[in-house]
Amino acid sequence: MKYYPHPFLAKEGWPFIAISLFITLLIYYLGNFWITLPFILISIFIIQFFRDPKREIPLDMGAILSPADGKIICVEQSIDVYQNKEAIKVSIFMNVFNVHSNRSPVDGEVVSLQYYPGKFVNADFDKASTENERNAMIIKTTTNYKITVVQVAGLIARRILCYTGVGNLLARGERYGFIRFGSRVDLYLPLNAKILVTIGQNVKATETIVAKLDD
């Protein structure tokens, strides 16, 4: 398991946190508490948004872990357009209060990365999966299954970050990307996957087992 070298707050947020705290302290120095209060609240929001806590990694064989924090908004048989085959689609919606660090759902090799520019409609809408800006990653597991993980930008999300590349090996729970502000992650799983989540369920990246596959 490769651990991401950062403290509790994600490195993507360090500039935003530093700027917000500087502005807050400056306004407090020049003004008074009540003028500063809205800026204190904004700083607290930014700090909570970029939190990135360590997660315990389930060791269950065949487990497919949640790649993101959020709420399950879709579980259905669909077409994985990135592999051109039928699959089970599981979508996770991340609101602005969720952790936005994305983590690998399985142990495996990255065999494909495809980036698509697009729109920025509400990530809660079904059409976001095909119309929004997105980054699709196909992972070949150590048991020779292929699953697709798609980072999808949202209404106010304007930056999808992916830190891995084709040929890289990922360990389950390993941090591989980040999406700033509200967004979603789609999983496309083999048809024989046993789904363990339901629509409306809240999940946590790495800690929640979304599905299981036979070894």
Print the SS3 string covering 30-92.
HCCHHHHHHHHHHHHHHHHHCECCCCCCCCCCCEEECCCCEEEEEEEEEEECCCCEEEEEEEE
183 is catalytic: yes
Region 95-108: mean pLDDT is: 90
What whole-number percentage of the chain has pLDDT above 90? Answer: 53
Region 160-180: mean pLDDT is: 90
Which structure tokens are listed for 121? 């409609």
Residue keyed to tokens 């919606």: 93
- Domain at 63-212: CATH architecture: Distorted Sandwich (2.70)
- For residue 16, which phi and psi values (nearest 5 degrees)? -65, -40
Q: How would you class 15 by CB atoms within 10 Å of its CB: exposed for 0-12, middle for 13-18, buried for 19 or more?
A: exposed
pLDDT of residue 1 exceeding 50, the answer is no
The single-letter DSSP state of residue 125 is S
Region 140-160: mean pLDDT is: 83
Element at 187 (helix H, strand E)? strand 183-189
Among candidate residues 132, 65, 69, the one with its CA nearest the CA of residue 95? 69
pLDDT band with cut points at 50, 70 and 90 for residue 181 = low
Model pTM?
0.83
When the pLDDT of each residue in the chain is averaged and rounded to a whole number, the result is 86
Element at 146 (helix H, strand E)? strand 146-153
What pLDDT, in 10s, does the model give residues 37-82?
999 999 998 888 888 888 889 988 899 999 999 999 999 999 999 9
Residue 207 pLDDT: 94
pLDDT of residue 88 exceeding 50, the answer is yes
pLDDT of residue 2 exceeding 60, the answer is no
Q: What are the residues facing 87 on neighbouring strands?
A: 78
Helix (H, G, I), strand (E, B) or coil at 20: helix
43, 91, 129, 183: which one is catalytic? 183
- Who wins on pLDDT, 11 or 85? 85
What pLDDT, in 10s, does the model give residues 199-210?
999 999 999 999
Which amino acid, 172?
Answer: R
